[in-house]
């Protein structure tokens, strides 16, 4: 291992792997276990909600991973260094920053509860303990909203309040901030940026996440001018089809398409995919020549034709190839819902071995108190969590721990193995 390796090296190499736990996801045991498994598998960054309790749980997992790192390396897993801890903020309404809600007493007895079936995190429950949405488990994907035949489900959005929340978040020692924005929000972005700017020296990285839209390139160029000069690395996160990577392979296409647009725009900074990413993403990027190991790209050539370059038959058509420079290559990929679903079978096994009652996870009383007294995202966020996904600490079961790391490695290694270390 090169002692100078760091997450920044991975960005430069083009093999950066980010785990997205979810800007609204607050299930502490699940976040802790996901962080531990993906860190030991070699993740470069862990992206979590701007909630001190979530940040604390993530930090504990990172500490735990450091103590298991040597063992992971001995077993052949990809752990190399402590990943950067990133927190996501928003400058306006955004699907990543919302929770579903409904009044379960209004549900007709005849309803077959499709909301419960469609929810990928088990956030909808009907029991004597809790009926409705379990806030901690909801990450705002919105799949339950259109499926309700009685139209009872709505979304509750929230916007980050920088003046009161930013100092609290920064004092936790995070490494990076991500700003979620959308085309047309210049003023909102500027307002949030003005609050962040005095704290930039504490950060190792800033990321700007934006979905596709008309004039997205022009919008991002405007943001680029707003934040210049910037004394730390910058990522443009192409949020193709938000929170959808577990739905099917094709969800990755929207992110790849947006990524191509942004690469061609040649904005200063690294370009990293998200929003619909899954185990098809690397294969797709590879086939398009967008990874750093690929030296020739027919796609880029479509924008920068060069008649002196050789040609190759691709999809039955003769295309001219062109060498690409690093600014036209992807720096990394972030995975959210797909990464979470990949480990679900492990959490089910872990759950079956833990107490089948109301389960707070095995968190210290201190952590619970921290959570109770710092409800940053909304009031009364702290609720009892019915027995659900991965309530126990993963490291207490070494067999399941290394199974989880092995599963996580199947995803992390895709980008790590494409580009030689």
Q: Which is nearer to ligand SF4, 121 or 255 (CB)?
A: 121
Q: Which is nearer to ligand SF4, 111 or 183 (CB)?
A: 111
CB 259 within 8 A of CB 211: no
The least distance separating ligand SF4 from the CB of residue 139, rounded to whole angstroms, comes to: 5
* CB-nearer residue toward ligand SF4: 129 or 283: 129
CA distances from 158 to 144, 155, 244, 343 (A): 19, 10, 21, 29
Choose between 7 and 391: whose C-beta lies nearer to ligand SF4: 391
Which long-range CB contacts under 8 A does 356-360 form with residues at least 24 apart?
A: 356/387, 357/387, 358/129, 358/384, 358/385, 358/386, 358/387, 359/385, 359/386, 359/387, 359/388, 359/391, 360/384, 360/385, 360/391
Residue 121 tokens read as 């995190």
Kindly report whether the peptide bond that precedes residue 404 is cis, defined as omega within 30 degrees of 0.
Answer: no
The tokens for 223 are 């943001």
The residue whose two tokens read 């306006």 is 92
- Phi, psi of 296, deg, nearest 5: -135, 140
For residue 140, count other CB atoms closer than 10 A to its CB: 23
Contact 190, 218 (CB under 8 A): no
Q: How far is the CB of 144 from ligand SF4 (least distance, A)?
A: 3
- Least Å from the CB of residue 293 to ligand SF4: 36
CB closer to ligand SF4, 60 vs 388: 388
Give the pairing type, strands 16-20 and 332-335: parallel
Rounded CA gap, 400 and 402, in Å?
6
Residue matched to tokens 């309530």: 391
Place of tokens 């901690």: 136
Report the nearest approach of ligand SF4 to the CB of residue 244 (Å): 11
Q: Which residue lies nearer to ligand SF4 by CB, 131 or 195?
A: 131
Among residues 64 and 121, whose Cβ is nearest to ligand SF4? 121
Rounding to the nearest 10 degrees, give the CA dihedral for residues 236, 241, 242, 244.
Answer: -130
Taking the complex as a whole, the smallest distance from the CB of residue 334 to ligand SF4 amounts, in Å, to 18
- Of 10 and 141, nearer to ligand SF4 (C-beta) is 141
Q: What are the distances in angstroms from CA 106 to CA 38, 111, 346? A: 40, 11, 35
Query: Closest CB to ligand SF4 among 27 and 393?
Result: 27
Q: How far is the CB of 151 from ligand SF4 (least distance, A)?
A: 8
**Which residues are registered as beta bridge partners of 342?**
none
Phi-psi region of 361 (alpha: psi -120 to 50; beta: other; left: phi over 0): left
- In angstroms, what is the minimal distance from the CB of 143 to ligand SF4? 4
Binding site for ligand SF4 (CB under 6 A): 100, 102, 107, 111, 113-115, 118-119, 121, 123-124, 133, 138-144, 148, 150, 152-153
The least distance separating ligand SF4 from the CB of residue 243, rounded to whole angstroms, comes to 8
The distance of closest approach from Cβ of residue 386 to ligand SF4 in the complex, given in angstroms and rounded to an integer, is: 14
């Amino acid at each position: 291992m090169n002692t100078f390796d760091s997450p920044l090296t991975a960005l430069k190499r083009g093999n950066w792997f980010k785990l997205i736990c979810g800007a609204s996801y607050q299930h502490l045991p699940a976040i802790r276990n996901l962080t531990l498994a993906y860190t030991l598998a070699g993740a470069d960054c862990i992206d979590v909600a701007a909630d001190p309790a979530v940040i604390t749980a993530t930090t504990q997992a990172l500490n735990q991973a450091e103590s298991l790192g040597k063992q992971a390396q001995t077993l052949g897993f990809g752990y190399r260094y402590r990943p950067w801890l990133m927190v996501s903020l928003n400058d306006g309404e955004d699907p990543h920053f919302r929770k579903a809600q409904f009044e379960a007493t209004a549900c007709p007895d005849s309803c077959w509860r499709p909301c419960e079936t469609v929810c990928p995190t088990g956030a909808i429950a009907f029991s004597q303990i809790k009926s409705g949405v379990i806030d901690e488990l909801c990450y705002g994907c919105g799949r339950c909203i259109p499926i309700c035949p009685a139209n009872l489900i709505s979304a509750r959005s929230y916007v980050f309040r920088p003046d009161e929340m930013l100092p609290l978040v920064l004092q936790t020692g995070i490494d990076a901030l991500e700003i979620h924005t959308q085309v047309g929000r210049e003023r909102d972005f500027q307002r949030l940026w003005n609050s962040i700017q005095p704290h930039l020296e504490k950060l190792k990285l800033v990321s700007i996440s934006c979905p596709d839209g008309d004039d997205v390139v022009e919008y991002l160029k405007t943001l680029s001018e707003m934040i210049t000069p910037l004394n730390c690395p910058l990522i443009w996160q192409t949020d193709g089809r938000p929170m959808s990577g577990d739905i099917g392979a094709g969800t990755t296409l929207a992110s790849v398409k947006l990524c191509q647009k942004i690469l061609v725009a040649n904005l200063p900074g690294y370009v990293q995919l998200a929003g619909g990413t899954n185990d098809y993403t690397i294969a797709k990027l590879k086939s398009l020549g967008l990874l750093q190991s690929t030296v020739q790209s027919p796609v880029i050539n479509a924008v920068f034709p060069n008649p002196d370059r050789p040609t190759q038959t691709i999809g039955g058509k003769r295309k001219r190839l062109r060498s690409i420079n690093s600014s036209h290559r992807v720096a990394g990929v972030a995975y959210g819902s797909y990464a979470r679903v990949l480990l679900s079978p492990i959490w089910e096994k872990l759950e079956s071995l833990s107490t089948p009652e109301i389960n707070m996870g095995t968190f210290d009383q201190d952590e619970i108190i921290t959570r109770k007294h710092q409800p940053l995202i909304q009031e009364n966020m702290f609720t009892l969590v019915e027995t659900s996904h991965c309530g126990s600490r993963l490291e207490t079961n070494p067999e399941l721990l290394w199974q989880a790391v092995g599963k996580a490695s199947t995803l992390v290694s895709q980008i790590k193995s494409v580009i030689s270390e």
